[in-house]
Amino acid sequence: MIAYLEGTITYKSPTNIHLDVNGVGYDLKISLNTFSKIEDVDETRLYTHLYIREDTHTMVLYGFHSREEKELFLLLTSVSGIGMNTARIILSSLEPLEVKSAIASGDSATFKRIKGIGSKTAERLILDLRDKVARLASPGEYENMSQPLLMNEEAVSALQSLGFAKNQAGKAVLSVLKPEMKLEDIVKDALKLLS
């Protein structure tokens, strides 16, 4: 496994770069987020993920400006229905902090605006990753994200106590959740959907 590559950029575009590492040129696929961080530099270190397509016997190397972006990429691709290209589009459309905040707050509308993400995929992404994203957050980020995440969990728990399945309750909460909603409003709106 290649953890990172450090070298001279010999070719650069918004979607990929060529990185010369001691005379060996690597072609790396990148997000627009990474491109914006390395746009004005000639030397860089990129954290990498190597993807091997067994059906076509090809390898694709992805590069990320930060470990955080790489970790998010791997989390995103762990969700059913989100492949490598879709994860890269998400990270090109949103900053890593925006991705984490949208997941923590259950903001599926943010993801639905991204090409290739429909309602079901956005909801699945949030349901699958909200706990994992909370663990990834740095202390300062966690303060910003913990309140919506806690509200989300409390609303789902309240609906479960009323006899609804966790998955069903989670989907309803994500559908009605808006920033700065009170817990009772979340539960009431979710109940309307479930009734």
CATH number (domain holding residue 22):
2.40.50.140
- Whether residue 48 lies inside any domain: the answer is yes
User: Phi and psi of 180, rounded to 5°?
Assistant: 65, 25
- What confidence category does residue 177 fall into, taking pLDDT thresholds of 50, 70 and 90? confident
Rounded mean pLDDT of 64-81?
Answer: 94
Higher pLDDT, 154 or 15: 15
Beta carbons within 8 Å of 176's beta carbon, 6+ residues apart? 186, 189, 190, 193
Lowest mean pLDDT among 39-48, 81-90, 96-105: 96-105
Beta carbons within 8 Å of 55's beta carbon, 6+ residues apart? none
- Whether residue 103 lies inside any domain: the answer is no
- Whether residue 36 lies inside any domain: the answer is yes
Mean of the per-residue pLDDT values of the chain: 86
Highest mean predicted confidence (pLDDT) among 62-66, 128-132, 174-178: 62-66
pLDDT for res 66: 94
pLDDT for res 138: 56
Beta carbons within 8 Å of 46's beta carbon, 6+ residues apart? 4, 5, 6, 17, 19, 28, 30, 34, 38, 63, 64, 65
The share of the chain scoring above pLDDT 70, in percent, equals 91
Domain that holds residue 30: 1-65
pLDDT for res 150: 62
- Whether residue 37 lies inside any domain: the answer is yes
pLDDT at residue 69 tops 50: yes
- Whether residue 49 lies inside any domain: the answer is yes
pLDDT for res 142: 46
Higher pLDDT, 132 or 124: 124
pLDDT for res 41: 95
Higher pLDDT, 144 or 150: 150
180-to-47, 94, 186 alpha-carbon distances in Å? 36, 21, 10
Number of domains in the chain: 1
Q: Can you give the pTM of this predicted structure?
A: 0.71
- Whether residue 143 lies inside any domain: the answer is no
Within 13 Å and on the Cβ side, how many CA atoms surround 60?
A: 13
Rounded mean pLDDT of 101-129?
Answer: 88
pLDDT for res 190: 86
